[in-house]
Structure 1
Amino acid sequence: MTEARKDAPRRYIVDGAGQRVLVGLTSSETVEFETLDRPLASLEGSSVLQDQRRLGQISVDERWSELYLKHERAWSAWMAESRARSHPLCVLN
């Protein structure tokens, strides 16, 4: 993957099953994202990459982007909700 992705923020929570996951992703999607986020050379033996090649699925970059976008959208919504709870609007008369 590219160097720019190392700057991508990661925001973890503990899900209902007590597992550490990225906001908006399941535990299996979090593992997949973390695997895909490693440098490409380290993915060569990965079952995720092998499965994608075998099945002719989307590229590693496309899947990484798909998972990151899902996480980013959920994170943005979570932050907006958190801000709304922390700073309720004052009604002026």
Structure 2
Amino acid sequence: MSNFAFFVVDGIETGNFTEGETENAFQFMNDLGSSDSLDIQNLLVVAIFEKLVDSEECRKVAHQRLEGKARDLFERTLAGWPSSWPLKINSNAGEN
């Protein structure tokens, strides 16, 4: 499943995905997200969304294409992902 995620990321970032490929990929993710199975939802998050959130372009497309529970899962993944956090460096770290 993670190969699918890398395929999607590459297709979006390089612009090699057609409109139909983009639609099919995100419809597949929407279908997985609509499942009532927590195992399927977890697979979607761990195998796919955790790869997509690292790419700004993929985040933009995901916001446009994901719907319902899949979008909610993506947003929760994004909110908990370090690459989306503003990093604050304490210049006094380590000082007493």
> What TM-score, normalized by structure 2, do the two folds share?
0.32
Greater per-residue strand proportion: 1
> What TM-score, normalized by structure 1, do the two folds share?
0.33
**Greater Rg over alpha carbons, structure:** 1
Higher relative contact order (CA 8 A, sep 6+): 2
